[in-house]
Chains A and B, each alone.
Chain A
Amino acid sequence: AQTVTQSQPEMSVQEAETVTLSCTYDTSENNYYLFWYKQPPSRQMILVIRQEAYKQQNATENRFSVNFQKAAKSFSLKISDSQLGDTAMYFCASSIYSGNTPLVFGKGTRLSVIA
C-alpha cells in the first residue's frame, strides 16, 4: 500500500520569495509517479508538476521545481518568485506506474502568499 505524508499543514511566504513544501511517501513499488496538485479556494484541482520515479533528473515547470530523493522517499516542491495567485492548498500524490491505480494523496499544505 502507498502512503503520502505532508507534515506542514500551513505555510506562508512573502510575494516574490521562494518557498519549499515537503512531502514524504512510502511504497513497495519500484516504478511509480509522484505529483503535486494545486487546489485554489473553491476551484478545481490542477496538476502542477509530475515526476517519474525512474528518472533521476528533477522535474521543473517554470517557477515550480521538485527535489526528488528516491532513497529517502522524499518529494519536495519549490516555488520560486511566489505570486499571489499561488495561494492554494497543495497536495502531494503518488500512483503506481501500471497506469490503472488511483492517486493516493497527502493531507495537503495550505500556502498563503502575502503581498
Chain B
Amino acid sequence: DTGVSQNPRHKITKRGQNVTFRCDPISEHNRLYWYRQTLGQGPEFLTYFQNEAQLEKSRLLSDRFSAERPKGSFSTLEIQRTEQGDSAMYLCASKSGSGTNYGYTFGSGTRLTVV
C-alpha cells in the first residue's frame, strides 16, 4: 500500500463544466476526508465519510458539490457547473478509526483551475 492516491493531479476546465476527482485511501482506513485549499490558506474541511456513510458536510459544500464513497473504498468528489471560485487544490485524507496511531494521511491533491 503506497498511501493515499488522488487522480487526476491537475485539471483545467472551462467555467460551467462538471468535474470529478477520485481518492483512493489507505485500504485499512475507514475514515476519509475531503479538504479544499486555496492559495496562501490552510486546508478547509468539506466533508467526511466513515466507511460508506457521509457523516458530516461543511457549509462550504454547496449544492453543486457532491461526494460519494461506494462500498467504503475509494471516494469521488464531483463539482457541477464549475465557477472560477472553485479553483483550488482539493485534498483527500484518510485515517484509521482505531489504534494509537491517531494520524491522518494526505494524498498529493488535485489542483483544479477553472478558466
Q: Could you tell me which A residues sit within 8 Å of B by CB distance?
A: 4, 6, 33, 35, 37, 43-47, 50, 52, 91, 93, 99-100, 102-108
Contacts and interface: CB of A to CB of B under 8 A. Distances in A.
Nearest to B101: A50
A50 B40 contact: no
Contacts of A93: 42
Nearest to A104: B45
A43 B55 CA distance: 28
Contacts of B33: 102-103
B8 interface: no
B103 A91 contact: no
A102 B42 contact: no
B104 A108 contact: no
B108 interface: yes
B42 A107 contact: yes
Contacts of B42: 4, 6, 91, 93, 105-108
